[in-house]
A and B are shown apart, each in its own frame.
Chain A
Amino acid sequence: MAKTGMTKTMNQYFDDLRGTRVWRSIFRSGTGSSTLKRALAIQQNVFLHLFSTKVRTRMLSLSATWYLGTLTLGTFLILIATGIPLMFYYHPSAPQAYADTKDLQFVVSSGLFLRNLHRWSAHAMVFLVFAHMFKVFYRGAYRTPREFNWVIGVILLLMTLLLSYTGYLLPWDQLAYWAITVGSNIASAVPVVGEKIHFLLLGGNAVNANALLRFYVLHCMILPLTAMFFVAIHFWRIRKDGGLYSHASEPATQRANANPGVVANAKEAQ
């Protein structure tokens, strides 16, 4: 059927919906696609206001960032989405934890897929965090005024490693048990307080049911919340530090671009 003046398009229905009182009470920016409305859509949303309302167009090209930060956030979201249903089927007690993992593999509907996706996303997140760090370094994006956001990034790298490491024990199989044994023994090597740290980490002198419970609480509660806290600061600081790093807009580069001859001569004179 041909569209007539009487027929509303999908967009018009959506615009009508956005104009309703209920929608306006939730999303305060309202209808319209003006620059102002688009800026308000970011500014007036508690989550989106962490980001700038505008991004340098050049920074959207694939080569500028490879979207590594975005992809890292993506793995984190997948891990939350798969981790919560996994918790429904899991008891953090030995040896029940292993039986639960077996059930996830063979009994629970899509349990195998759920665990696979959680596991591979975790590996992907560790890899992406490292990749993101090196990409930021090679672009020189840690320079003033972004120093502290780099430091928060290092904290997030450690958070990611701890999240992955604590999750590694939870299946309570041989792989998990001995990987954590090897890793936690390193803590004993810390001078003077090593044994104390080792005991505190595991709740005993060896990996046992106490360690499983501690790692579970760290993995499902403390570390994700801490990570989210730092992720929020990390994003907010991008905005506060002048947006995504873009080399050509930096003062030093601008001076060099404005006057290439002068800079070249200055170098020769040195």
Chain B
Amino acid sequence: MADSKDFTAGVDSNAKKSPRRIVFITRRTSAQVKAETEDQTQTFPEVLFRAAVAVMTLAVVLVWISLMFNAPLEGLADPSHTPNPAKAPWYFLGLQEMLHYFPPVVAGVMVPGLVVMALIVIPYFKVNIEAEGLFLKDRQKRLRIFYVVATALSVFLLLFKVYAALVPTLIMAAVMLVAAQSSPQSPSAFRRYLAARPLSYWVMTWFLFELVVLTAIGTFFRGPGWSWVLPWQG
């Protein structure tokens, strides 16, 4: 502990907020007071009421859908008769699309494993906590790294002919280049927005983009033998 002279003492004068509050501040560090002066609403009953309204609205929508559309039910399970294509549930079709390009140990084990690991560690990496625009600091160095990573990823996807993942990657790279050419002083609100996006935003948005595109392709554009079909061709 600090020696006896190494602090100053004060008494909080706001008797409305706290009956008595004594603050000790050492000379070397400043006290950080997290003021909570925001408007607050009682959970009971206002917030619970709002939650109930939200859930009931959802229930109405789901009941309406259930009255209008029947859940699919096909013939009895038959191990000797494989449907073509045999598809996983929709939320795994992005993975099944990856299985089309890469060996199962890569697409089925490494990719989902890495995605889950990456999601778990997000809050523990400083790069995800900083909210600085990616290209606002060390612009030249970061641009070089960006070029190397984007090119390596694109070449990798090109070599394995993963055009379904390559196109979203190239679109994201193009948007990031626009961001690199934008500044917080730009007259365009959109470019000011892009300039302020941090690295974590770009990585997550790229992941979301790939997830949506691959899942949509697996769901709507894959037919017999996992060949490319258009949804309206049955």
Contact = CB atoms under 8 A, between A and B. Distances in A.
B66 A113 contact: yes
Contacts, number: 201
Contact of A172 (B51, B77, B89, B104): B77
How big is the A interface, by class? 35 or more
B54 A189 contact: no
Contact of A120 (B32, B66, B75, B108): B66
B119 A154 contact: yes
Interface in B44-94: 44-48, 50-51, 54-55, 58-59, 62-63, 65-67, 69-79, 81-83, 86-92
A31 interface: no
A191 to B, nearest CB: 6
B43 A53 contact: yes
15 contacts: A35-B42, A52-B43, A55-B43, A56-B39, A70-B51, A75-B58, A78-B58, A98-B76, A121-B62, A144-B123, A161-B91, A177-B78, A179-B89, A186-B109, A254-B34
Interface in A116-152: 116-121, 123-124, 126, 130, 133-134, 137-138, 140, 142-144, 146-147, 150-151
B95 interface: yes
Contacts of A173: 73-77
Interface stretch (A9-17, A163-171, A218-226): A163-171
A190 interface: yes
A91 interface: no
A interface SS class: helix
Contacts of A42: 43-44
B116 interface: yes
Interface string B23-47: 0000000001011101111111111
Given A168-B89, A206-B79, 10 more contacts: A57-B41, A60-B41, A71-B55, A95-B76, A95-B77, A117-B63, A174-B77, A183-B89, A194-B109, A251-B32
B82 to A, nearest CB: 7
How big is the B interface, by class? 35 or more
A114 to B, nearest CB: 9
A98 B50 CA distance: 40
Interface of B: 32, 34-36, 38-48, 50-51, 54-55, 58-59, 62-63, 65-67, 69-79, 81-83, 86-92, 95-96, 99, 103-105, 108-109, 116, 119-120, 122-124, 128-129, 131, 136-137, 201, 204, 208
Given A116-B69, A126-B91, A56 B40 contact: yes
Contacts of B48: 48
A175 B129 contact: no
B192 to A, nearest CB: 14
A46 to B, nearest CB: 14
Contacts of A112: 70
Nearest to B200: A137
A210 interface: no
A163 to B, nearest CB: 11
A35 B46 CA distance: 12
B104 A186 contact: yes
